[in-house]
Amino acid sequence: MCVCVCTCVCMPLHVCTCWGGRQGLGGWGRALEVQGQAWTMACLPQSVQALIADFRGTPTFTYKAAHVFFTDTCPEPLFSELGRSRLAKVVKTLKEIHLAFLPYEAQVFSLDAPHSTYNLYCPFRVGERARQIEALAQQIATLCATLQEYPAIRYRKWGPHPSAAPHLDPNLPAAFDLTLTPVLVLTLVPAPIPNPILGVVCALTSRVCLALPNPTPEAPMSAHPTPRGPEVTAQLAHAILAKLNAFKADNPSLGEGPEKTRSQLLIMDRGSDPVSPLLHELTFQAMAYDLLNIEQDTYKYETTGLSEAREKAVLLDEDDDLWVELRHLHIADVSKRVTELLKTFCESKRLTTDKANIKDLSHILKKMPQYQKELNKYSTHLHLADDCMKHFKGSVEKLCGVEQDLAMGSDAEGEKIKDAMKLIVPVLLDTAVPAYDKIRVLLLYILLRNGVSEENLAKLIQHANVQAHSSLIRNLEQLGGTVTNPGGSGTSSRLERRERLEPTYQLSRWTPVIKDVMEDAVEDRLDRKLWPFVSAPAPTSSSQAAVSARFGHWHKNKAGVETRAGPRLIIYVLGGVAMSEMRAAYEVTRATDGKWEVLIGSSHILTPTRFLDDLKTLDQKLEDIALP
């Protein structure tokens, strides 16, 4: 059998299994022989050769028909090899369906390539960098083409005083055959894909770059590593432009429309804001994923009440309307909102209740078993909020104030922090604080000071008792941060931030840098020296943009949804995107009254733990790390 992932494409599950998704599911062997077999695979020589081998050396074929779907463009030599094989006689379908991205949320996408941070920023992977950039560029360009966007492309240029961007006049490459096919993809292997997705191209991309043999020897690690963010953002932006030009040559109408011409794609790297993924966020989604053991978007908890305790697993996705409503609320507002909604629900069913809490839900369920599905949703989110608050009342509460002061450089009253060391020493010396939480505080202190002396760094690491993680802390330099400064603390290189006057919670004062970027971009105020174009921008128009469609139509096929054609701001963050940054995309979209739609994505979704785990690998050889 072929070595590649076998998936079923373009049909419901019951048809999919009959048609030949996998032989072991329910005894469909006869159906396989009659109707054929489907293969979905990357266009790799070993994959194509394994497929051909399935049809070699037997007097009669095992399968009556072959349906082959390539996840990217099939090179001419491999196509010719297929044509010369016995397989060609039974091929009924041969398509390039371009599986390139995972629609994670309504306005969030993932390329499902967590290994790319390692390939791009680890000095040992210099030989892989160009290949990784090409792979990401193809995925991002496919995303844009799937959305019918041909955006102006910009990238974040490093340095406080960047020179003007050079004028670029790229030539369109020759067109190549490409079909963007609306598909339904059902994976038959474990993968973090929420639900079957109809009408879009979804991601089943993978760890190909790390799985392939390394064609180039690993480069020696420099004693003074050079930050890779600035050069990588520029290289990726140019590579995306080349891929998009090829799409445009194949489909000249791509990106056309009075408002589509205003769409932009911004490329930035994790080093532009290393603060956001370090903080303890107190909005519901970010807090839950940080503090609780949520894997593959699944929350597990024990239920009690009507019978013995049992574990329940709930998927946190956009099929849960209550989750969508609550996920960006501050934790202080979540329980209150759930309680209000539960009371409203009970009143609508003419059931009076003095309480609306977890304990009371068991009694309500006993009286109203017919509403178990609805009541279980309220129960789930009350449990989730309660779990978050239990962790918060432990060591997290005291950490939040310190983190916010370090991130902002000022206290809750707006007074500048004069002695940050006094803030962090109690945390570093507290044996009850986990090592990773100490490292988060330590990195925030280093970022505030723009580096510390080697001697002070050694003392801080020793006081915190995190010597085992000293390389993790130093690896922040691979993202462009300054960890050690020979003369002590340096001059801060932070960008000037927007002044925000709206009321907020004292422990939630920080706003992700990317929100400033989003707001400046939609208002056409983004610095063209810091954010040079690699393709000519559309002329500024004074006309009002049409209201954009929700990007969320890709995750489910809802009837009666109106599609509009306003401009989009698409942001790709090299090195992972934090959940606070995801929230910012929704906030800025709402603030424009739908005139702009902001989409954000990355190779993977970050939690603080995942961010530190990524940093940990950046000074290690491939054989010394566990592949994600």
Q: Work out the average pLDDT over 473-494.
A: 79
Residue 186 — very low, low, confident or very high, per pLDDT cuts 50/70/90?
Answer: very low
Query: Which of 37-41, 160-164, 420-424 has the weakest average pLDDT?
Result: 160-164
Any bridge partners for residue 94, and if so which? 68
More confident: 475 or 500: 475
Classify 62 as helix, strand or coil. Answer: coil
Q: Is 161 exposed, middle or buried (0-12, 13-18, 19+ CB in 10 A)?
A: exposed
In the structure encoding, which two tokens stand for residue 409, read together?
């450089």
- DSSP-derived letter for residue 170 is P
More confident residue, 344 or 321: 321
Q: Is 286 exposed, middle or buried (0-12, 13-18, 19+ CB in 10 A)?
A: buried
Better pLDDT: 226 or 420: 420
Q: What is the pLDDT of residue 259?
A: 86
> What topology is assigned to 292-392 in CATH?
Syntaxin Binding Protein 1; Chain A, domain 2 (3.90.830)
Distance CA 523, CA 518 (A): 9
CA dihedral 206→211→213→218, nearest 10 degrees, is 90
Mean pLDDT of 460-465: 96
CA dihedral 362, 366, 368, 373 (to 10 degrees): 50
Residue 251: CB atoms within 10 Å: 17
Top pLDDT among 158 and 465 is at 465
Range with the poorest average pLDDT among 315-324, 414-423, 437-446, 538-547: 538-547
- CA 509 to the chain's CA centroid: 24
Question: Could you read off the pLDDT of 4-24 as tens digits, one per residue?
Answer: 333 333 333 233 323 233 332
Check pLDDT > 90 for residue 510. Answer: yes
Note every long-range contact of 209-215, with CB atoms under 8 Å and residues 24 or more positions apart, other chains counting: 209/113, 209/115, 209/116, 209/119, 209/128, 209/131, 209/132, 209/135, 210/115, 210/118, 210/119, 210/622, 210/627, 211/627, 212/44, 214/127, 214/128, 214/622, 215/127
Other C-beta atoms within 10 Å of 255: how many?
Answer: 21
User: What pLDDT does residue 540 have?
Assistant: 54
- Confidence at 556, pLDDT banded by 50, 70, 90: very low
Q: How far apart are CA 486 and CA 484, in angstroms?
A: 7
Asked whether the domain spanning 102-179+216-272+512-611 has the same topology as the one spanning 8-96, the reply is yes
- The answer to which of 234-238, 325-329, 500-504 has the lowest mean pLDDT is 500-504
The residue-averaged pLDDT of 150-167 equals: 64
pLDDT at 476 over 70: yes
d(CA 156, CA 264): 13
594 backbone dihedrals φ, ψ, rounded to 5°: 80, 0
What is residue 582's predicted lDDT score, i.e. its pLDDT? 98
Give the span between the Cα atoms of 66 and 49, in whole angstroms.
Answer: 15
Are 460 and 439 in contact, with CB atoms under 8 Å apart? Answer: no
pLDDT given at position 611: 98
Most confident of 187-191, 236-240, 338-342: 236-240
pTM over 0.85: no
* Mean pLDDT to the nearest integer, 616-626: 89
Integer Cα distance of 405 and 422 in angstroms: 12
Considering only 32-41, 78-87, 398-407, which range has the smallest mean pLDDT?
Answer: 32-41
Distance CA 535, CA 143 (A): 18
* pLDDT tens-digit map of 83-104: 888 888 888 888 877 678 999 9
Percent of the chain with pLDDT over 70: 72
pLDDT, residue 318, reads 95
Return the structure tokens found at 56: 């070699």
Task: Pick 60 or 104 by higher pLDDT.
Answer: 104
Residue 307 is predicted with a pLDDT of: 57
Predicted pLDDT of residue 217: 42
- Residue 115 has phi, psi (to 5 degrees) of -65, -15
Cα within 13 Å of Cα(128), Cβ side: 25
How much is the average pLDDT of 570-587?
98
DSSP string, 14-57: HHHHHHTS-TTTTT-HHHHHHH-EEEEE---HHHHHHHHHTTSS
The upper half-sphere exposure of residue 419, i.e. CA atoms within 13 Å in the direction of its Cβ, equals 2
Residue 497's pLDDT band, with cuts at 50, 70 and 90, is confident
* Tokens found for residue 257: 């429309």
pLDDT band (50, 70, 90) for residue 132: very high
For residue 513, the number of C-alpha atoms closer than 13 Å in the C-beta half-sphere is: 18
Condensed to tens digits (0 to 9), the pLDDT of residues 332-390 reads 999 899 988 888 887 887 766 655 566 666 667 667 777 788 888 888 999 999 999 99
Residue 108 predicted with pLDDT over 50: yes
CA 244/CA 254 separation, integer angstroms: 9
pLDDT at residue 137, rounded to an integer: 97
The three-point CA angle 382-388-392 to 5° equals 140
Angle subtended at Cα 592 by Cα 591 and Cα 593, rounded to the nearest 5 degrees: 90
* pLDDT at res. 360: 67
Residue 604 has pLDDT above 50, yes or no: yes
8-96 fold = Rossmann fold (3.40.50)
Tens of pLDDT along 192-209?
Answer: 333 333 333 333 333 333
Task: Enumerate the H helices of 42-114 as residue ranges.
Answer: 45-53, 76-84
What pLDDT, on a 0 to 100 scale, did the predictor assign at position 310?
81
Residue 284 has pLDDT above 60, yes or no: yes
Higher pLDDT, 592 or 258: 592
Task: Please check the confidence at residue 115 and state whether its pLDDT lies above 60.
Answer: yes
Query: Measured between alpha carbons, how far is 369 from 334 in angstroms, rounded to an integer?
Result: 25
| Average pLDDT over all residues of the chain | 78
CATH for 102-179+216-272+512-611 is 3.40.50.1910
The predicted pLDDT at position 48 comes to 86
**Structure confidence at residue 159 (pLDDT):** 53
3-state SS, residue 399: helix
Domain residue ranges in the chain? 8-96, 102-179+216-272+512-611, 292-392
